[in-house]
Amino acid sequence: MRLGGIEIPHTHHAVGHSDADALLHALTDALLGAAALGDIGDWFPDTDPENRNRDSADMLGRALAAVVRAGFHVVNVDCVIMLQRPKLAPHKRALCDRLAQLLGIPANCVSVKAKTGEGLGPVGREEAIVTQCVVLLQRTSE
């Protein structure tokens, strides 16, 4: 399973138009939204063949570059990943480190939390992964 730009051993994987990295997609959306630059679907529509199997880290990098061009820098990020399995506790440090690397910020400015569905709903039945990210931006220029 590809999550947060790293491979996590598991029997299942997400399916999507790009590489289906749900965490990087949520982070890309959070960056674009925080700077009022649209959303991931505006920038990387699934109707564009160029986005087929696109690396989500590339999408995040392009979104980050647009945010910087708009006069902002990333202060910190907070992410929640909801999935039943695999357990992410052993991977949280690697996820924080990778997100920090992709964003060019210190790892102690990145939070990753994992929640299960407690066996309920699509997350609990292992049919879905839900990710949410909040990004704090600071204006660097007027």
Assess contact for 80 and 131: CB atoms under 8 A. Answer: yes
CA dihedral 44, 50, 52, 55 (to 10 degrees): -70
pLDDT for residue 46: 82
> Which fold is adopted by the domain 2-139?
60s Ribosomal Protein L30; Chain: A; (3.30.1330)
Q: What is the pTM of this model?
A: 0.87
Assess contact for 42 and 63: CB atoms under 8 A. Answer: no
Q: Which residue has the tokens 């160029």?
A: 50
Kindly report, residue by residue over 12-63, the tens digit of the pLDDT: 655 565 667 899 999 999 999 999 999 998 998 888 778 676 788 999 999 9
Kindly report, residue by residue over 86-101, the tens digit of the pLDDT: 888 899 999 999 999 9
Q: Phi first, then psi: give them for residue 111, nearest 5 degrees.
A: -120, 135
Kindly report, residue by residue over 67-91, the tens digit of the pLDDT: 999 999 999 999 999 998 788 889 9
